[in-house]
Structure 1
Amino acid sequence: MYTSAALRYIPNLLTVGRILVTPLLLVLLSVQSQAGQMSAVFLFVLASLSDYYDGVLARRFGVRSRLGQYLDPLADKVLILGTFIALALEAPDLVPWWAVVAIALRDVVVTIFRSWAEATGQMLPTYRMAKGKTMLQILFLFAILVLRAATHTSPPLQEAARWILYESQLPGLALIGVVGFTLATGALYAVAPVKEQMDSE
């Protein structure tokens, strides 16, 4: 019984751990060495996996709390937006500030609409596209972090990574896709309260 009760805290502990690990990840991103960049990749993967497993364990143990519902999206925003900001500072040619601002504004707008919906007794659904948005952002960031780490290795891997990052159009096109998809999911949340209000009239 004691073990079972203790396990119920694991999902929230994973979520809090994701928040606490993020500052170290951001510091490592500024360390221009193979060890620093590879450590950043490792921490990012670890934090991203915690995002998956905290939900799995919460469902497994039947744990649903207001604290967890608040902390989980907050931890996602801290990790993802924090990494985007760090990359914008370290490599603005790869992640320009317009992309960071667009992603941040989307989160602000969705938070406002969600708060308004709850204040008026409505419940905004969680769209699969929104979950897909988080996964897409994580995959993009993971690819950029791995490629940045590869630039600190030896040829030919180093040369290939540098070509992809700084000579090809792939990172820019991928970022446009990520930002576009992110904004599209924000539009869904913006329309939902209005649609529900119209349906009820």
Structure 2
Amino acid sequence: MKMTVPTMLTLARIVMIPVLVLVFYLPYKWTNFAAAFVFAFASATDWLDGWIARRWNQYSAFGAFLDPVADKLMVATALFLIVQSHPTKWMALWAAVIVGREIAVSALREWMAELGQRAKVAVASIGKIKTIVQMVAVTLLLYQAPIIGIPVFTIGEWMLAVAALLTLWSGFEYLRAAWPSLREQAHAGVDTQ
């Protein structure tokens, strides 16, 4: 297994998951800042590992597998923490939409890879926009406290709703891209279970 700088950053992101949980539950006033910082730092490493991989051609099969796993684990953990500390129906709904779509798209990508057509469900621009909105929303929701009178948490709630809607849109785009292959396999009588 080739250990590249992007892969090390991805592994660091996975290590940050228990750190996020631990910091989130510490009984101090500064923990909201620390949790938001850990999540924002992890989000920055997500961007950085991709940039380094492209800039210096440091790709590896292990890194390509691990990167989306690390992202989904970090986001799902952060959303579970937020919903647990603010258990409203809307927060739970937005989190369920985001986590559910991630599971569905991961399964779709895996299935398309088995058909040799993974490129048809590559990350699209709407997925990248969704990721940015989602990362900012989660950071604000973890931070919680107003900054110079600005209602950070409320802005985070609205941004999470937008991220959930973008999540549905990008999920639909992935499905639409894969649909011809799905139909072709269904008509060919291939067992998809």
Structure 1: gaps spanning 5 or more residues: 1-5
Q: Which residue of 2 aligns with 1:85?
A: 80
TM-score, length basis structure 2: 0.82
What are the residue-to-residue correspondences of 1:15-26 with 2, within 5 Å? 15-26=10-21
Structure 2 gaps of 5+ residues are 185-193
**Distance in 2 separating the partners of 1:127 and 1:119:** 20
1:72-109 deviation line (CA, Å, top 9, x unaligned): 11111011111011111112239622222211110111
Deviation, 1:27, is 2.1
Give 3-state SS (helix, strand or coil) of 1:33's partner.
coil
Map 1:146-165 to 2 at 5 A.
Answer: 146=143, 148=144, 150=145, 157=148, 160=149, 165=153
Distance 2:10 2:156 in 1: 29
Aligned to 1:127: 124
Q: Distance in 2 between matches of 1:14 and 1:53?
A: 8
Query: Does the Cα contact within 8 Å between 1:110 and 1:189 map onto a contact in 2?
Result: yes
Larger Rg computed on CA atoms: 1
Q: 1:61 to 1:97 in 2, by over 3 A?
A: same
Matched, 1:107 2:92: no
Tell me by how many angstroms 1:172 deviates.
4.1
Is the alpha carbon distance of 1:135 and 1:164 closer, same or farther for their aligned partners in structure 2, counting shifts above 3 Å? closer
Partner in structure 2 of residue 175 of structure 1: 160
User: Counterpart of 1:3?
Assistant: none
Cα-to-partner distance string for 1:121-162 (whole Å, 9 max, x where unaligned): 21222211112211111011122223x2x36xxxx94xx36x
**What letter matches 2:176 in structure 1?**
V
Structure-1 separation of matches of 2:52 and 2:164:
30
Identity %: 25
What is the aligned residue count?
A: 182
Could you tell me which amino acid in structure 2 is paired with residue 22 of structure 1?
I
Shift of 1:9: 1.9
